[in-house]
Structure 1
Amino acid sequence: MTIFNVFTLMGGIAMFLYGMDLMGKALEQTAGSKLQGILSTMTSSPIRGLLLGMAVTAVIQSSGATTVMAVGFVNSGLMELHQAISVIMGANVGTTVTGWLLSLSGLEGDNFITQMMNPNAWSPILGFIGIWMYMIGKDRKRGVGKILLGFAILMAGMNTMSHAMSPLADEPWFMDLFLSFKNPILGVIAGAVLTAVLQSSSASVGILQALTSTGAVTYSAAVPIIMGQNIGTTVTALISSAGANKNAKRTAFVHLYFNVIGTILFLCGFYGLNALIQFSFFNETANTFGIAIVHTVFNVVTTAILLPFNRLLEKLAILTVPDSPADKKQE
């Protein structure tokens, strides 16, 4: 791998992050206040809040953005803390959509249908349509154009990263690096740090999917990294709660505790089962579909386990950010 591959990789990451940011912001702007109105009112039950968080995150392609919106609504008094908890859980499930979209780029085949299912085949056309709508359209059409353009840039960045990292398959040190991530603790830390820096679990999952092209990423290394990515994404909400009221801070801590507790439970269950039955795929080379599956299974399983305990998460957050004596007197 040469210095020019590094330059190409940096450019690919820049395109990927910019495309994701452009698409997410354009979706939010196009939907306008409708998203915010729905998010603040349709949370009367945990299940409805869960479904709402999933839907909004799947649309705007960012669990961080949904969580930050929830923190903002709690801070403004438009949403109660217990309502925000189910929305946050739904956001974690909704963010898996990005991984599935990116995994389609791994489809291979000679027939027309298979080739057209691969986003690499039609994302350039979407980019062309998008820039055309953006340049000659007005208001809503410009917004739709930015969405299409953002997706095309995202996919171009994904391809650029994959091509830039492919020479790493022949580098012994890179293989050794990923072998070290088989240690769950190191893998979790690596995933958390990467996501905290990028401020996006979707982006870090996409980078991990691109890394699968090197052949160095096994499921034994990928699983703890994905767990860490879910912890790292909580940094966005924690930062957004700085200077906010106590309930908003508690909302951010609920997001942190949900992912930390979920990671501990999932890792204990996963490695416990592997010790008993020896998963056949454990040491196999991961692919983009496999990464999407692991990411989805983690978020769905942890949400299913922890949703009934949303009130306990609320109490834990209140213990972390307790009321002051003055607040208790006002009550």
Structure 2
Amino acid sequence: MEPPKRMSNTLRKLFLVISGISMIGAGCAGSLVIRLYFLHGGSRIWLSSFLQTAGCPIILVPLAITYMARRKSQSSKNAKLMLMEKTLFKFSVIVGLLFGVIDYLFSAGSSKLPVSTSSIIYSSQLAFTAGFAFLLVKQKFTPYSVNTLVLLTVGPAILALNASSDRPEGETMKDYIIGFLMMGLAAVVNGFVLPLMELSYKKANQGINFTLAVEFNMMMCFFATVFSTVGMLINKDFQAISREARNYELGEPIYYLVLVSTSVLWQMSLLGLNGVIFCGSSLLSGILSALSIPIIEVLAVIFYHEKFQAQKGISLLLSLWGFVSYFYGEIRASKKATSEANVEVDVLKNTIEKETEV
């Protein structure tokens, strides 16, 4: 995806780095906090799903700042609260509802699987992201990116071969398999949604800038939250929150802290995800998502004392290998492009000099 015209290359790279850090850091923390909710007495899948996008009002802060900036640079009559046109708005509705589905599947999987296991299964979304990116946005692949896709797909497959040995104590094999399937389905749907977000920016009938990207994120999260809210109403989750808080093993204050933290962390992660797609590509967002695996693996072992079997170690090494392979390929491609550009400049200079001499 082409970067916004009004954003310089340096600023784009800086924004990309910040977005990547937010996506990985908040995403890792968010996964751990969701598991903390289920480990100590939380059982509401729709509530957990709701929390993953309910923090969208936070986005009103940067939107308000950009709106005030527009009012200063334009007449008050021309400054609009929302800049999004119909095509982009329609895409935001579709993407938002699909994110609601992803949130539910992710929460259902997280409720039954260890964090380290669920994160590796979810990383298989990269293969689906690559496939849908090729179909929807004509993503180009290099030998290095193909190698990355293979490695990051084989990793979760190895984990799946001996998955039952990682089943939490007291959980039935049926529940464990359901969790495995739910997380796998979340990976498939997410693999479709990320390129769809990139396609949304390409199909929009207006130039995409930072403000529009944030507005898109806001509307996307709003409709995902509406989807989860309907589920909560049907399942009567709102009435159960106070009762669940009183019975929470870590205490009622910690319970509400967990809920708020989940909402804030996942909103930061989604903002980072949107920023990566905005300044990079959907494939890059999938690669960075896979990078979070080793971090989650280590944190899960430290905080939740989860087992770290041999197959997890092999899967982890393959994921790291794939990540290094991708960025090595990107560095080589960048150097090659720079070299070719320099050659073209030299040829142009020589041509101009010869014409001047004549």
* TM-score under structure 2 length normalisation: 0.31
Task: Indicate the structure (1 or 2) with the bigger Cα radius of gyration.
Answer: 2
What is the TM-score with the length of structure 1 in the denominator? Answer: 0.33
